[in-house]
Structure 1
Amino acid sequence: MSFTEQRFDVNLSILFTELPLLERPAAAAAAGFDAVELWWPWIETPTPPQAELDALKKALTDAGTRLVGLNFYAGELPGPDRGALSVPGEESERFRANIDVAADFAQSVGCTALNALYGNRLPGADPAAQDALALENLVLAARAADRIGAILLIEALNAPESPRYPLVSAPAAIEVVDKVNEATGLGNAKFLLDLYHLSMNGEDLPAVIDAYAAKTGHVQIADNPGRGAPGTGDLPLADLLARLAKAGYTGHVGLEYKPGERPSAEAFGWLN
């Protein structure tokens, strides 16, 4: 397996989680990475104290790691939630309260990609009403991202692991990307192409790459089955990333896989 000319970043919300959050950037740097990404680290609040934001910024800066991707508040993740922006009531309000907090933090550390997880369908809720709420909130998020020179990412997850999440195919996520761009006129909504999730949905990955590389703002990988490191499953990840590069994708590739039983620092042997 050969991975050439790729810019990898480490997702610190799934790797190095045996360490406290503020120690993870340095651990990633010690493993050879200068770029990292994060789910929203403060699961319990969309508006953490400024001191906690400053501490994370300092940890990133001291480690020499750049944050290249950050999720907006997404509820309990990891956990049962898959975002908040389409969830009526308190969760949607929490998402809105988080928009400028996340954007301002991203700007402070040079992060130019913000991921907005759509949220689960709710029993008894009108799907059309949830979609209308989602578009309202995504427009707000896109404008906040544009304010700091960033892109807004829309992600498809997989149906087996996220059965109540409505965006479980590349076309479904692309449809939302297009609607947001049409509503804002900004053109900064992009597709987060996660090869693991799309493979779990049984999609034709080369065809997805060929169709949507131009609308892709970020890429994430894990092998399948198992969501482990490349080489632990059956996905031809090196070939797929080469195809993405040939299609014009030049951004980072996020390593969003489970390290298994080993310490995270030992989960990168496939790169050698």
Structure 2
Amino acid sequence: MTFSVNCSIMLAELPLMERPAAVKAAGFDAVEFWWPFASSVPGDAELSRFEHAITDAGVQLVGLNFNAGDMPAGDRGLVSWLGRSDEFRDNIDVVAGIGGRLGCTSFNALYGNRQAGHAPEAQDELAVRNLAAAAAAVARIGGTVLLEPVSGAPDYPLRTADDALRVIARVKEETGAGNIKLLADFYHLSVNGDDVDAVIEAHAKDFGHIQIADAPGRGAPGTGQLPLAAWTARSRELGYAGRIGLEYQAAAATAFDWARRQPAAR
């Protein structure tokens, strides 16, 4: 089993640009990031610094989020955010450019919270257009847009796998976009009360990506009660061939102790 390490949540004691090298030193060869910049269109120097942090470390970027707004403040995406669509559209080509230069082909588009004072239907219509635009842009580099159910955000409307899959089906039906897939984060699905076993049985072969953390606590595998090893193994049996994204909270000194006990899995 091959893992990738999400540098935006892992190794949080280190400066962000030092984390890819720390991932390599820990024995892993692939990284993921949430959007690592303060704006949708960062300057050339910022882009270069980010890209060199990855290439100089000798790791592969395998996943990158589109700009999702101010995550610490509670934002969870711009895809359906009326009034910020231009920011999302401007971000699309920047994301695709990074992907093209670094060989990354998976791009997570957080849907966005429901907005008071706006009809959900209007937000969903905007989301269809924005997801289709993102899908068309990354298709030029062989990319896939990922759509993710999220926990811990009461106003985020995609909570179960079916919620996300309905959006994916609508975008395909209305626009023809066929390169949008479910990001199955087993932690989020479990915390939201989804039937993870059933989701795996029905959809594993079509997962765009898997991410894991244990629950309760969003800690490392083995710190909670989720059968993460069984879930990932079953997903493999049913045809999932991608990496397993590590997206949990743990002290850097012990973050990978569980993996060191099974080094062949890295």
Q: Common fold, TM-score beyond 0.5?
A: yes
Q: Number of residue pairs matched? A: 260
Asked if 1:114 corresponds to 2:102, the answer is no
Asked if 1:248 corresponds to 2:239, the answer is yes
SS at match of 1:192: strand
After TM superposition, list the pairs within 5 Å mapping 1:14-25 onto structure 2. 14-25=9-20
Cα distance in 2 between the residues matched to 1:182 and 1:111: 26
Letter in 2 for 1:195: F
Cα distance in 2 between the residues matched to 1:182 and 1:31: 44
Unaligned runs of 5+ in 1: 1-5
Q: Deviations over 1:58-91 (max 9, x none)?
A: 11111111010000010012331000111111x2
Counting aligned pairs with the same residue, the percent is 55
Q: Which residue is equivalent to 1:150?
A: 143
Asked if 1:133 corresponds to 2:121, the answer is no
Q: Which residue is equivalent to 2:196?
A: 205
Letter in 2 for 1:29: K
After TM superposition, list the pairs within 5 Å mapping 1:55-134 onto structure 2. 55-89=49-83, 91-134=84-127
Asked if the contact 1:146–1:186 (Cα under 8 Å) also holds between the matched residues in 2, the reply is: no
Cα distance in 2 between the residues matched to 1:183 and 1:143: 14
SS at match of 1:36: strand
SS at match of 1:32: coil
SS at match of 1:135: helix
Structure 1 stretches of 4+ with a deviation exceeding 3 A read none
Task: Quote how far apart the aligned CAs of 1:266 are.
Answer: 2.0
Task: Quote how far apart the aligned CAs of 1:185 are.
Answer: 2.5
SS at match of 2:244: strand
Asked if the contact 2:205–2:235 (Cα under 8 Å) also holds between the matched residues in 1, the reply is: no
Q: Deviations over 1:21-77 (max 9, x none)?
A: 2211101000111000000001x2000001111111111111111010000010012
Asked if 1:39 corresponds to 2:27, the answer is no
Q: Deviations over 1:79-128 (max 9, x none)?
A: 31000111111x22111110100111111100010110000001111000
Structure 2 length as normaliser, TM-score? 0.95
SS at match of 1:123: coil
Asked if 1:218 corresponds to 2:215, the answer is no
Q: Which residue is equivalent to 1:10?
A: 5
Q: Which residue is equivalent to 1:27?
A: 22
Out of 154, 158, 166, the residue aligned to residue 175 of structure 1 is 166
Out of 42, 46, 58, the residue aligned to residue 52 of structure 1 is 46
Out of 218, 236, 254, the residue aligned to residue 266 of structure 1 is 254
Task: Quote how far apart the aligned CAs of 1:265 are.
Answer: 4.0
Task: Quote how far apart the aligned CAs of 1:148 are.
Answer: 1.2
SS at match of 2:72: coil
